[in-house]
Amino acid sequence: MANGNQEEWWASTRGLMITALVIWFIFSFGIHFFATALNGIVVFGFPLGFYMAAQGSLIIFVILLFWFAGAQDKIDREHGFAEEG
Amino acid sequence: MAAQTGDAFTSNLSRIYATYTGGFAAFVLLIAVLEQMGVPDHILGYLFVFFTIAVYAMIGVLSRTMQVSEYYVAGRKVPAFYNGMATGADWMSAASFIGMAGTLYALGYDGLAYILGWTGGYVLVAVLVAPYLRKFGAYTVPDFLYARYGGKLASICGIVVLMSCSFTYVVAQIVGTGLIASRFIGMDFEIAVYVGLIGILVCSLLGGMRAVTWTQVAQYIVLIVAYLIPVVVLSAQKYGVPLPQIMYGNVLQEITAREQEMVAQGLVAAEALKPHTQPFANLDPLNYFGLILCLMVGTASLPHVLMRYFTTPSVRDARKSVAWSLLFIFILYFTAPAYAAFAKLEIYTTVIGAQVADLAANTDLAWLFKWGSIGLVKICGVDAASAQAVIDACAKVADHPGIVRLADFRIDNDAIVISTPEIAGLPYVIAGLVAAGGLAAALSTADGLLLAIANALSHDIYYKMIDPNAPTARRLIIARVLLVIVAVFAAYVASFRPADIVAMVAWAFSLAAAGLFPALVLGIWSKRTNSAGAIAGMIVGFGLTLYYLVGTRYYAMGFYEMWSGLSGASEAAITKYNDLKAAWEAAAPEAKEAAWKAFDTHAQTVANWFGVRNISAALFGMPIGFIVMMVVSRLTPAPSKELQDLIDEIRRPSGGVVMKEKSA
């Protein structure tokens, strides 16, 4: 199992962490700075700024986490650090 | 079902819980039939409470264990999907279930800070913390601090933070069970608190984490069904589509139109109206985003949440499990704004603008007086206990036009969810179901918190510091004795209905965010962070946050006068502060108390740094905690080679847990 290169693997892991946190930051804070402007757009009756805070960002978070779990697992396998070999 | 049959249990989970869900549906139908046969409401309410607690107790007894790893981490064999459900129940408290929709009703867009904060935090859990703690193989969060930061002092810092955020939280859950049982089925509050205590102990005492896990899964199913049904029915009645989460877009449009109409009709002054969908009407952007950050980071540091991820079979499952948790939490949280919107439209159209004298004649408004009589609805400043009380109170208001204006009406946050079944005209069985759901939410959260507290005492203090050679049997007995002591003490505190403690729950997030988050994250992601840095950072971050919370809330005058240069108060607010202070100083002895109350209430609004509200205190403590931790670590020697190797091992998913349990 220790055939992987720890440095390379950790660099990929850290890269994924940063990507995930950038997406997290955008949908936690970034887009909500523009809530007032986004509210000018109405989708299915929802002002868009309101919709993003009430549902849109949440949906992104859920998708992000399932994607993250898969992506980290792929990194672990490629570098030989996954559990059970 | 002892440990040997445990595997048969975990391999049949989907069948067991499908049967359970079917059984629960049949039970609800049975209650509906009993209601049609004329069985009185309060009997149905008791059936709901006792049946559900009996089921949880049964699961608790079947999951009893005498193994240390079963007791602390459910044997690490909880599949990701079910651990997600258990975390959902663990996370969603009485306040989420009963109070969240009301907060959104009151704050409109700005209330969404809670929705964002309490979901987005799971991204931090999955990416930064949980998988690594799972790999480490800790039983508790202080356990990790002990190993990573070399010893007792770091562990004790962790325990202090854990206690201060978890104990007030568990008391609030027990108060929650008392309020639910007393409101829905008319049980005495004090009795209901002890019924809640029994409900908590039967789930956790015999089986520890193992029993809590499987009851939390059962509790999640009850709470999510109970939360969805009333608002789904309401959406189907109103729009013919049972998808409230989508249909409330229309409701928002109607609310906006009605808000303009109310202004035109003189029911609310244009400048006093806070439109439901308008951002930053109640919180300024600094406090809105600050609150989101504190809630997110707090979520990622609360021990009772993190310890749920110690129970998965692998690091990979821990990551997947966080994603499932968030999905299960999302289902409730994206429904809460729909509740708020439906209730708001109903109130704006049927109550606001109605003739005061006609309120009693409208049978659709019976809920108003029902909840008014227990103090949840106020009209013209008095509890809407009866039509006459409201008419008398409004008559005393100067220049009252005889119609209910927006400013005349006040509804408690808790009343939104619990009155929706009646607003929708649903039978009592649905109200009973909502009570069972609220109870499940409160009990499941209380179980998780109680275990977090008792395990820190039994594992981190007793086993690690007092008697490291204790045999398994003694460890488990001590763990249970401490669990009972903490639970009884929490119920005793809850029986006084301490309003302050319930308000302090919001503090838990800031305290955890400032006290634990930097030490956990840097412990995993920075090898250079050493024990001196971690301890200094935890003490400074936690201490500063606690100082800000207590100072701005309980010592507002002193806090303001010490830091008046940093206060975000406006000129007018400062003038008012000085006037009220002069009035209090000059007040006659018998008027002193009232003058102090007015002065202190106002002082709390000016006692701050840069206008940051008390609830977002970690906005100062957390960054400073990080800075102190990094600076002190770099000024003192780096961690030893062994410790750096340990960190490498924690990071790698392969190779099994780092901490091995010797006796299990």
Q: Residue B264 is part of a domain; what is its CATH number? A: 1.20.1730.10
pLDDT at B180: 87
- Separation in Å, CA B67 to CA B63, B82, B364: 11, 21, 56
> Looking at the partner chain, which of A29, A45, A53 has a beta carbon nearest the beta carbon of B252?
A45
Judged by a CB distance cut-off of 8 A, whether residue A41 touches chain B is no
B330 and A61 in contact by Cβ < 8 A? Answer: yes
In this structure, the answer to whether residues B245 and B370 fall within a common structural domain is: no
Q: Give per-residue pLDDT as tens, A41-60.
A: 999 899 999 999 999 999 99
pLDDT at B549: 93
Bridge partners of B379, per DSSP, are B382, B409
pLDDT at B232: 93
In this structure, the answer to whether residues B103 and B125 fall within a common structural domain is: yes
In this structure, the answer to whether residues B324 and B384 fall within a common structural domain is: no
Counting the structural domains of chain B, the total is 3
Neighbours of A9 (CB within 10 A): 18
**Residue B652: closest CA among chain A residues belongs to which residue?**
A81
Provide the whole-model pTM. Answer: 0.93
A57 and B652 in contact by Cβ < 8 A? Answer: no
Structural contact between residues B434 and B44, judged by C-beta atoms closer than 8 angstroms: no
Instruction: Identify whether B348 is part of a domain.
Output: no
> Looking at the partner chain, which of B122, B277, B314 has a beta carbon nearest the beta carbon of A61?
B122
B314 and A83 in contact by Cβ < 8 A? Answer: yes
B126 and A21 in contact by Cβ < 8 A? Answer: no
- HSE at residue B179, side-chain half, CA atoms within 13 A, is 27
Tokens for B557? 């005058």
Tokens for B422? 């009646």
Tokens for A26? 């955008």
Structural contact between residues B195 and B187, judged by C-beta atoms closer than 8 angstroms: yes
In this structure, the answer to whether residues B134 and B244 fall within a common structural domain is: yes
Instruction: Identify whether A68 is part of a domain.
Output: yes
Judged by a CB distance cut-off of 8 A, whether residue A50 touches chain B is yes
* CA end-to-end span of chain A: 6
| CA dist., res. B316 & res. B132, Å (int) | 10
Residue B248 corresponds to which amino acid? Y
Higher pLDDT, B86 or B237: B86
In this structure, the answer to whether residues B330 and B203 fall within a common structural domain is: yes
pLDDT at B202: 87
Instruction: Identify whether A1 is part of a domain.
Output: no
In this structure, the answer to whether residues B386 and B468 fall within a common structural domain is: no
Judged by a CB distance cut-off of 8 A, whether residue A49 touches chain B is yes
Instruction: Identify whether B481 is part of a domain.
Output: yes
The alpha carbon of residue B255 is apart from the nearest alpha carbon of chain A, in Å, by 11
The alpha carbon of residue A81 is apart from the nearest alpha carbon of chain B, in Å, by 5
Residue pairs between chains A and B whose CB atoms are closer than 8 Å: 139
**Residue B280: closest CA among chain A residues belongs to which residue?**
A36
In which band, very low, low, confident or very high, does the pLDDT at B664 lie, cut at 50, 70 and 90?
A: very low
In this structure, the answer to whether residues B15 and B107 fall within a common structural domain is: yes
| CA dist., res. B207 & res. B219, Å (int) | 16
Instruction: Identify whether A44 is part of a domain.
Output: yes
B120 chain-A contacts, CB cut-off 8 A: 24, 27-28, 57, 61
Neighbours of B92 (CB within 10 A): 27
Residue B402 corresponds to which amino acid? G
> Looking at the partner chain, which of B246, B651, B655 has a beta carbon nearest the beta carbon of A44?
B246
> Looking at the partner chain, which of B316, B327, B334 has a beta carbon nearest the beta carbon of A83?
B316
Instruction: Identify whether B656 is part of a domain.
Output: no
> Looking at the partner chain, which of A55, A69, A83 has a beta carbon nearest the beta carbon of B654?
A83
Instruction: Identify whether B568 is part of a domain.
Output: yes
B151 backbone φψ class: left, alpha, beta (φ>0; ψ -120 to 50): left
| CA dist., res. B552 & res. B614, Å (int) | 7
Instruction: Identify whether B659 is part of a domain.
Output: no
pLDDT exceeds 90 at position B658: no
Helix intervals (H) in B456-530? 472-494, 499-515, 517-525
Q: For residue A29, which of B108, B510, B120 has the smallest C-alpha distance?
A: B120
pLDDT exceeds 80 at position B122: yes
Judged by a CB distance cut-off of 8 A, whether residue A65 touches chain B is yes
| CA dist., res. B347 & res. B343, Å (int) | 6
pLDDT at B519: 96
Tokens for B137? 């193989």
Query: Can you list the pairs that B566-571 forms with residues at least 24 positions away whose Cβ atoms lie under 8 Å?
Result: B566/B608, B566/B609, B566/B610, B567/B606, B567/B607, B567/B608, B567/B609, B567/B611, B568/B608, B568/B609, B568/B610, B568/B611, B568/B612, B569/B605, B569/B606, B569/B608, B569/B611
pLDDT at B5: 46
pLDDT exceeds 90 at position B90: yes
In this structure, the answer to whether residues B557 and B466 fall within a common structural domain is: no
A59 chain-B contacts, CB cut-off 8 A: 330, 334
Mean pLDDT of B308-317: 94
> Looking at the partner chain, which of A51, A58, A82 has a beta carbon nearest the beta carbon of B119?
A58
Domain span including residue A42: 6-78
pLDDT exceeds 50 at position B148: yes
pLDDT at A2: 47
A10 chain-B contacts, CB cut-off 8 A: 651
* Boundary-marking domain end, from B458, B484, B519: B519
A28 chain-B contacts, CB cut-off 8 A: 116, 120, 123, 292-293, 296
pLDDT at B3: 42
In which band, very low, low, confident or very high, does the pLDDT at A36 lie, cut at 50, 70 and 90?
A: very high
Neighbours of B304 (CB within 10 A): 28
Q: For residue B213, which of B65, B401, B343, B59 has the smallest C-alpha distance?
A: B59
| CA dist., res. B501 & res. B170, Å (int) | 10
- The ipTM of this complex is 0.95
pLDDT exceeds 70 at position B663: no
B115 chain-A contacts, CB cut-off 8 A: 53-54, 58
pLDDT exceeds 90 at position B244: yes
Mean pLDDT of B51-75: 90
In this structure, the answer to whether residues B16 and B163 fall within a common structural domain is: yes
Bridge partners of B530, per DSSP, are none
Instruction: Identify whether B661 is part of a domain.
Output: no
Instruction: Identify whether B109 is part of a domain.
Output: yes
A6 and B652 in contact by Cβ < 8 A? Answer: yes
In this structure, the answer to whether residues B249 and B390 fall within a common structural domain is: no
pLDDT exceeds 70 at position B7: no
Proportion of chain B above pLDDT 70, given as a percent = 98
| CA dist., res. B531 & res. B526, Å (int) | 12
Structural contact between residues B66 and B298, judged by C-beta atoms closer than 8 angstroms: no
Q: For residue B46, which of B223, B184, B196 has the smallest C-alpha distance?
A: B184
| CA dist., res. A46 & res. A30, Å (int) | 19
Testing the interface with A: which of B252, B274, B330, B658 to mutate, by most A Cβ within 10 A?
Answer: B252
A55 and B334 in contact by Cβ < 8 A? Answer: yes
pLDDT at B6: 52
pLDDT exceeds 50 at position B527: yes
The alpha carbon of residue B607 is apart from the nearest alpha carbon of chain A, in Å, by 26
Q: For residue B141, which of B541, B529, B460 has the smallest C-alpha distance?
A: B460
Judged by a CB distance cut-off of 8 A, whether residue A83 touches chain B is yes
Bridge partners of A47, per DSSP, are A42
SS (H, E, C) chain A: CCCCCHHHHHHHHHHHHHHHHHHHHHHHCHHHHHHHHHCCCEECCEEHHHHHHHHHHHHHHHHHHHHHHHHHHHHHHHCCCCCCC
B131 chain-A contacts, CB cut-off 8 A: 72
Judged by a CB distance cut-off of 8 A, whether residue A18 touches chain B is no
In which band, very low, low, confident or very high, does the pLDDT at B1 lie, cut at 50, 70 and 90?
A: very low
Q: What is the average pLDDT score of chain B?
A: 91
The residue assigned the tokens 């919180």 is B283
**Residue A65: closest CA among chain B residues belongs to which residue?**
B323
> Looking at the partner chain, which of B123, B249, B289 has a beta carbon nearest the beta carbon of A65?
B123
A35 and B109 in contact by Cβ < 8 A? Answer: yes
> Looking at the partner chain, which of B120, B253, B292 has a beta carbon nearest the beta carbon of A61?
B120
Judged by a CB distance cut-off of 8 A, whether residue A31 touches chain B is no
> Looking at the partner chain, which of B126, B245, B652 has a beta carbon nearest the beta carbon of A55?
B245
Poorest-pLDDT segment among B4-18, B26-40, B442-456, B547-561: B4-18
| CA dist., res. B100 & res. B638, Å (int) | 46
Testing the interface with A: which of B81, B115, B127 to mutate, by most A Cβ within 10 A?
Answer: B127
| CA dist., res. A69 & res. B319, Å (int) | 5
pLDDT exceeds 50 at position B4: no
| CA dist., res. B455 & res. B142, Å (int) | 10
Instruction: Identify whether B392 is part of a domain.
Output: yes
In this structure, the answer to whether residues B21 and B93 fall within a common structural domain is: yes
The distance from CA B227 to its chain's CA centroid, rounded to whole angstroms, is 16
Residues B353, B355, B360, B363, CA torsion sign: negative
**Residue B292: closest CA among chain A residues belongs to which residue?**
A28
Structural contact between residues B259 and B61, judged by C-beta atoms closer than 8 angstroms: no
pLDDT at A83: 84
Domain span including residue B493: 3-342+425-519
Testing the interface with A: which of B284, B331, B652 to mutate, by most A Cβ within 10 A?
Answer: B652
Q: Give per-residue pLDDT as tens, B575-611.
A: 999 999 999 999 999 999 999 999 999 999 999 999 9
Counting the structural domains of chain A, the total is 1
In this structure, the answer to whether residues B174 and B304 fall within a common structural domain is: yes
